[in-house]
Amino acid sequence: MTRHARTRADSRRGRTLLRDLSRDERRARFLLLLARADRGVLTPEDCAQLRLDIEAEVSESDTHRRSAAGQQAAAMRLHSRIEAAEQALVETESDRDQAAAEAEHLRQQLAVGGQR
């Protein structure tokens, strides 16, 4: 393998799969720890693990929320650019139509002037 070769874990898809796997494992632990809490048999290690898992979920949730907000802002900027581009097209088409009308008027004047 070359120095620059990428492994599956390096790819975006690989990172997504690893995150999904980590999240699934964390949620499975949640269910186990919650079942133990219901029975009143949480150990100090279980409490520590529960805290770590909850902190990881909160952090991941915050990250996704920020990412979604950034994507929404980018979409709004693109929407504004599209509206401006559409307006520019309308103005350009109007200018084209006006220039064509003026050119036709000049052709008619030349034709009338040439007949005299």
The pLDDT tens digits for 73-90 are 999 999 999 999 999 999
Q: Is residue 42 within 8 Å of 50, Cβ to Cβ? A: yes
Q: Report the distance separating Cα 50 and Cα 29, nearest Å.
A: 8
Q: What is the pTM of this model?
A: 0.55
| C-alpha–C-alpha distance, residues 57 and 27, integer Å | 9
- Domain spans of the chain, in order of start: 14-114
pLDDT in tens, 29-53: 989 999 999 999 999 999 999 999 9
